[in-house]
C-alpha cells in the first residue's frame, strides 16, 4: 500500500472534523460527461495538476470520480474496467499530494481498489443501497463513508425531508449490520439527485432535520441545476449561487461542502467566520 495511505481508516474523519470549521471537498472528475466540467480533466496530467491546484487553494479532501453520476438521468454507465482505467493514472498521484482522497464510486470493487491504493474515504451516491458488497468493503477497510440520498426519479408529491430520513435509516441499518463504525459515517442529502429543484432547496433549508442522526452532514450544491431555476445560468456561471447555497448549508449544520470552486469557497467561508468572530 502507498505510504501516504496512513490517511486510511476512520480516525482521518475525526482528525478532519477536529479542525472545528467547515471542511471543503474539492471535486475532481476524470470523466468526459460530467454535467459541469466533463472532459476538462480526462487527461491524467491535467487531472493531477487540478488536484494540486485545489490542494493549494485549501481543499481538505479531494473527491475523485471516473463515472458521471450527474443527477439528471442521462449519465452513461461506465464498465468497471473503464472506470479503473481512468482512475489508474490519477489516484496514486493525487494521493501523493498529501490531501486525503475520497473515491466517488457506486462499485464496491472500484472502492476496494482505491482504498488499497491509499484513498481514505468512500463517497457512495447510492448510500450503500446499490452495490450489495459496498458496505462490506467499507467495513473491511475500516474506511469512512459518505452515505448520499438518491432516488431513481424525482417525485414532486413526496415529503422530501421524510424521504431522505427514511433512506438514511435504511442505509445506517445496512452499515451497522456490515460492521461500519457509526463515527465513520457522513450523511449527504444528495442535492439534485432524485429531487425537483424545489426539493433540493428544501433539503438545504431543512438540513437541521437530519441532525437527529448525530452525524456530520455533507452538502454538494456546487453548480447544481436548482440554481438555474432561481437565476437562469449555465453550470460555469453558478459560482455565486453555489457559494450562497453552501454558506446557507453551513449555517444550517453542514460540516463539509463539496465544491468545484475551491479558492472562492474557502474565501467565502473564512470571511463569514471572521465576521462572525468580530461580532
**Which residues partner with 23 through β-bridges?**
256
What mean pLDDT, rounded, does the chain reach? 93
d(Cα 26, Cα 62) in Å, to the nearest integer? 5
What's the angle, vertex CA 117, arms to CA 263 and CA 62, rounded to 5? Answer: 10
Q: How many helices (H) and strands (E) does the chain have?
A: 10, 8
In the predicted structure, residue 95 carries a pLDDT above the cut 70: yes
Question: In terms of pLDDT, which residue wins out, 160 or 279?
Answer: 160
* CA quadruple 69, 86, 105, 146: dihedral sign: negative
Q: Is the pTM of this model over 0.75?
A: yes
The CATH superfamily holding the domain 22-278 is: Dihydropteroate synthase-like (3.20.20.20)
In angstroms, the CA 131 to CA 261 distance is 30
| Per-residue burial over 260-273, b = 16 or more CB atoms within 10 Å of its CB, e = otherwise | bbbbebbebbeebe
Predicted pLDDT of residue 2: 39
Nearest 5 degrees, angle CA 2-CA 30-CA 129?
80
Closest CA to 148 of 131, 171, 182: 171
Candidates 136, 151, 223, 224; catalytic one: 224
pLDDT in the model for residue 75: 61
Strand ordering across the sheet containing 23-29: 185-188, 145-148, 121-124, 101-104, 61-65, 23-29, 256-259, 218-219
Task: Let me know if 14 is a catalytic residue.
Answer: no
Percent of the chain with pLDDT over 90: 87
- Active-site option among 107, 136, 223, 258: 258
Instruction: Give the contacts of 77 (CB within 8 A, at least 6 positions apart).
Output: 67
107 is a catalytic site residue: no
Whether the pLDDT of residue 1 is over 50: the answer is no
Amino acid at each position: 500500500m502507498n505510504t501516504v495511505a496512513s490517511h486510511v481508516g476512520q480516525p482521518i474523519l475525526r482528525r478532519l472534523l477536529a479542525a472545528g470549521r467547515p471542511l471543503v471537498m474539492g471535486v475532481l472528475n476524470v470523466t468526459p460527461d460530467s454535467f459541469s466540467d466533463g472532459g476538462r480533466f480526462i487527461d491524467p496530467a491535467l487531472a493531477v495538476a487540478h488536484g494540486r491546484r485545489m490542494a493549494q487553494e485549501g481543499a481538505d479532501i479531494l473527491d475523485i470520480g471516473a463515472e458521471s453520476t450527474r443527477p439528471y438521468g442521462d449519465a452513461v454507465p461506465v464498465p468497471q474496467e473503464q472506470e479503473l482505467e481512468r482512475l489508474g493514472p490519477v489516484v496514486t498521484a493525487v494521493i501523493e499530494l498529501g490531501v486525503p482522497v475520497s473515491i466517488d464510486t457506486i462499485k464496491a470493487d472500484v472502492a476496494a481498489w482505491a482504498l488499497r491504493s491509499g484513498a481514505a474515504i468512500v463517497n457512495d451516491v447510492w448510500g450503500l443501497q446499490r452495490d450489495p458488497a459496498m458496505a462490506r468493503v467499507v467495513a473491511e477497510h475500516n474506511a469512512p463513508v459518505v452515505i448520499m440520498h438518491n432516488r431513481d426519479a424525482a417525485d414532486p408529491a413526496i415529503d422530501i425531508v421524510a424521504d431522505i430520513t427514511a433512506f438514511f435509516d435504511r442505509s445506517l441499518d445496512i452499515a451497522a449490520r456490515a460492521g461500519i463504525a457509526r463515527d465513520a459515517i457522513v450523511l449527504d442529502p444528495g442535492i439534485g439527485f432524485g429531487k425537483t429543484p424545489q426539493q433540493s432547496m428544501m433539503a438545504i433549508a431543512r438540513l437541521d432535520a437530519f441532525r437527529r442522526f448525530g452525524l456530520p452532514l455533507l452538502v454538494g450544491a456546487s453548480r447544481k441545476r436548482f440554481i438555474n431555476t432561481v437565476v437562469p445560468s449555465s453550470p460555469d456561471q453558478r459560482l455565486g449561487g453555489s457559494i450562497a447555497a453552501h454558506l446557507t448549508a453551513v449555517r444550517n449544520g453542514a460540516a463539509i461542502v463539496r465544491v468545484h470552486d475551491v479558492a472562492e469557497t474557502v474565501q467565502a467561508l473564512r470571511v463569514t467566520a471572521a465576521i462572525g468572530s468580530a461580532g
